[in-house]
Every structure is written in C-alpha cells, then in structure tokens.
C-alpha cells in the first residue's frame, strides 16, 4: 500500500487530492495538522469520513466578483431551506443563483457552501445526499448582504492583515473596505451557508410554494443526522466553528421555516459525533 501511495504522490496535483483520501490515516484529518505536514496541498484538505460529500462541477460566472477568506475566519454554520421543491438538485440551485445579483453585482455561483438534498418527513424522495456548493474558502451569498457581525481577535487580525480579498476569476484580488461597517464584518464572511432542499415555510404571498397551514413540512430524522454530521465535520476541520444558526437570525426572512425548530436537536445529535456547538 505504501508503495502505491508513493507512486500516486509522484503524479499530478489532482491525483494528489485523491492520494490524501486513500493514504492519509484518519487521525491526520485535522486541518492544522495537515497544513503542517503537507503545506503544498492545504487548499484540498479532505473531509473526514463522517459524511460523504458529492462534488458537482458547477458553472461559474467569470464576470462576477467574489471574495476569498482563510478558514480561520469561519465561526458559524447557518442553516437555510432552498425555498424550492425538495427535488431541486445543487446544479439547479446553481443555475438559479447565476441569474441573481446584489446591487447589480452578479453572483459568482451557488450561494451556499453545502447542499443537503433530502425528502420531507413522510416522503421518500429525493434520495438523501450532501453536495459541496461554493468552495469553503470563497465567501458565500446566503446570510443577507446587509447583515454584519462582530469579529473576535483572530478574525480582526486576519482582516487587518488583508487576508480577506475580493476580485474576479483570473484577476487581481484586493481588500474590499465595503465588507466592513462600523467595525463589523459582513456575516457572509464568517459563516458557512448550509441549505436543506425544500420549502419548509408556510404558504404566503411571498412564499407561494410554502406548505398549507394545516399540513406543515418537517425534516426527516435522517436529514437532521446529515445536518449534524455536516456541522460536526466542519468543526473537526476547523475547531473555530462553534456556532450553529439559521437564516432568520441574520435577516427578516421565513427561511429556514420549521427547520429552525430542530436546530437544538441538530446540536444534540452533533454531540454524539464528538462536537460541541453553542
Ligand atoms: Zn435562507
């Protein structure tokens, strides 16, 4: 096995990404440790085995600007529902988000970092799955463009050192002072957006695909376990991620509907996988 690993190691960058999955022992699945041991592959740190993550190939908008962040900026997982039918795939959400913009600035790609596809309670489709959305080191577009949060010492240091930069594909990346307002930073910079496909909010004029009041939609137990594993996996990768929140904490919105009622259960399940969340 070691010889095969060594052979793979001699191949291309992409193959090396796979090499980590095959050859790095489980106890090395720690971001900081990996960074020390394999400085040349820090951008492709593998996910631990807590949950399998599909990695779709997304179309991006080369005209769109986006921002990059170091992992240490992240401290919170924010849950959403997709406000679509639960059958929507991450690729469909990506196509939808490529049509969106904030202040005439088009979105780069799917707004969320992870997509949990799952059926409503009492249903069987879609087949449950977790998919990668935006790479984690790209700032998402999920918490609301007008939502700002306080930074702790480490985040302030990273920001001051110019570690959060914005630009376009293939272009120059620079600090964007608009990310900061009254000493607070855009919530999108410090949070990880995780969306559960489906519409878990009641019907309204603003939410025509919502459920009828007497027939609310709820997540399945499997969905909650996937949400907990996903959050825990993120914490194992980056121990600074200690909070789980939801969209309406950041912005007046019906998102994530009834999923909000299950956040404490998600935290309890995550505890079973060795993670502590506030
Ligand atoms: Zn949302």
Domain of 199, CATH number, reads 3.40.80.10
From the CA of 81, how far away is ligand 1's center (Å)?
6
- Per-residue CA distances from 62 to 69, 70, 99, 105, 157 (Å): 19, 22, 13, 12, 30
Residue 16 has pLDDT above 90, yes or no: no
Q: Are residues 32 and 67 in the same domain?
A: no
Q: How far apart are CA 258 and CA 83, in angstroms?
A: 12
SS3 assignment, position 246: strand
Q: Are 201 and 162 in contact (CB under 8 A)?
A: no
DSSP summary character for residue 50: T
From the CA of 225, how far away is ligand 1's center (Å)?
20
Question: For residue 84, what pLDDT is reported?
Answer: 96
From the CA of 78, how far away is ligand 1's center (Å)?
8
Q: In the chain, which residue ranges form alpha helices assigned H by DSSP?
A: 2-9, 13-23, 31-37, 90-97, 153-160, 187-190, 221-237, 263-272
Report pTM. Answer: 0.82
Smallest CA-to-CA distance from 98 within 55, 130, 63 is with 63
Q: In the structure, what pLDDT confidence band is assigned to residue 47 with cuts at 50, 70 and 90?
A: very low
Q: Are residues 18 and 154 in the same domain?
A: no
**Nearest 5 degrees, angle CA 235-CA 240-CA 244?**
60
Residue 10 has pLDDT above 80, yes or no: no
Asked, for residue 199, whether it belongs to a domain, the answer is yes
Structure tokens at 192: 């990880």
Q: Are residues 79 and 110 in the same domain?
A: yes
Q: In the structure, what pLDDT confidence band is assigned to residue 33 with cuts at 50, 70 and 90?
A: low
Tell me the average pLDDT across 178-201: 98
From the CA of 11, how far away is ligand 1's center (Å)?
41
Asked, for residue 174, whether it belongs to a domain, the answer is yes
Asked, for residue 20, whether it belongs to a domain, the answer is yes
From the CA of 83, how far away is ligand 1's center (Å)?
8
Asked, for residue 127, whether it belongs to a domain, the answer is yes
Residue 201 has pLDDT above 70, yes or no: yes
Name the domain count of the chain: 2
Asked, for residue 234, whether it belongs to a domain, the answer is yes
Q: How far apart are CA 231 and CA 26, in angstroms?
A: 18
Q: Are residues 27 and 152 in the same domain?
A: no
Q: Are 100 and 64 in contact (CB under 8 A)?
A: no
Phi, psi at 88, each rounded to 5°? -65, 135
**208 class by beta-carbon count within 10 Å (0-12 exposed, 13-18 middle, 19+ buried):** exposed
Per residue in 120-169, pLDDT (tens digit) is: 999 999 999 999 999 999 999 999 889 999 999 999 999 999 999 999 99
Instruction: Tell the residue number behind the tokens 């908008």, with chain if given.
Output: 61
Q: Are residues 16 and 140 in the same domain?
A: no
Contacts of 40 (CB under 8 A, 6+ apart): none
Q: Are residues 90 and 143 in the same domain?
A: yes
Residue 174's CB is within 10 A of a number of other CB atoms, namely: 11
From the CA of 69, how far away is ligand 1's center (Å)?
21
Q: Are residues 110 and 156 in the same domain?
A: yes
Residues in the chain: 278
From the CA of 159, how far away is ligand 1's center (Å)?
26
Beta partners for residue 165, in sequence order? 68
Question: For residue 35, what pLDDT is reported?
Answer: 55
Mean pLDDT taken over the chain = 88
Q: Are residues 93 and 24 in the same domain?
A: no
Q: Are residues 161 and 184 in the same domain?
A: yes
From the CA of 111, how far away is ligand 1's center (Å)?
10
From the CA of 35, how far away is ligand 1's center (Å)?
32
From the CA of 94, how far away is ligand 1's center (Å)?
15
From the CA of 63, how far away is ligand 1's center (Å)?
24
Tell me the average pLDDT across 81-106: 94
Q: Are residues 97 and 160 in the same domain?
A: yes
Asked, for residue 165, whether it belongs to a domain, the answer is yes
Tell me the average pLDDT across 61-85: 97
From the CA of 183, how far away is ligand 1's center (Å)?
25
Question: For residue 145, what pLDDT is reported?
Answer: 84
Asked, for residue 180, whether it belongs to a domain, the answer is yes
**Nearest 5 degrees, angle CA 29-CA 38-CA 35?**
60
Q: What Rg do the C-alpha atoms of the chain give, in angstroms?
A: 19
Which structural domain, as residue segments, surrounds residue 212? 53-272
Q: In the structure, what pLDDT confidence band is assigned to residue 176 with cuts at 50, 70 and 90?
A: very high
Asked, for residue 6, whether it belongs to a domain, the answer is yes
Q: Are residues 35 and 128 in the same domain?
A: no
Higher pLDDT, 229 or 40: 229
Q: Are residues 173 and 265 in the same domain?
A: yes
């Amino acid at each position: 096995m070691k010889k095969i690993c060594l052979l793979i190691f001699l191949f291309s960058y992409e193959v090396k990404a796979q090499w980590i999955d095959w050859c790095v022992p489980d106890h090395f699945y720690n971001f900081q440790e990996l960074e020390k041991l394999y400085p040349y592959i820090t951008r492709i740190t593998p996910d631990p085995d807590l949950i399998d993550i599909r990695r779709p190939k997304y179309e991006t908008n080369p005209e769109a600007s986006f921002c990059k962040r170091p992992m240490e900026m992240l401290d919170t997982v924010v849950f959403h529902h997709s406000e679509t039918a639960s059958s929507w795939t991450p690729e469909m959400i990506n196509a939808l988000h490529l049509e969106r913009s904030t202040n005439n600035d088009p979105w780069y790609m799917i707004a969320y970092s992870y997509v949990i596809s799952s059926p409503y309670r009492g249903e069987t489709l879609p087949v449950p799955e977790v998919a990668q959305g935006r790479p984690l080191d790209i700032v998402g577009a999920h918490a609301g463009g007008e939502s700002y949060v306080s930074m702790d010492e480490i985040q302030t240091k990273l920001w001051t050192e110019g570690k959060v930069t914005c630009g376009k594909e293939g272009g120059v990346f620079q600090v964007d002072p608009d990310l900061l307002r009254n000493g607070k930073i855009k919530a999108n910079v410090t949070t990880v957006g995780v969306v559960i496909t489906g519409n878990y909010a009641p019907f309204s004029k603003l939410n025509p695909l919502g459920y009828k009041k007497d027939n609310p939609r709820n997540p399945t137990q499997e969905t909650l376990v996937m949400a907990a594993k996903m959050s825990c996996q993120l914490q194992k990768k980056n121990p600074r991620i200690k909070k789980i929140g939801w969209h309406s904490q950041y912005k007046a919105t019906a998102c994530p509907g009834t999923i909000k009622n299950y956040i404490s259960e998600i935290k309890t399940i995550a505890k079973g996988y060795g993670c502590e969340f506030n």
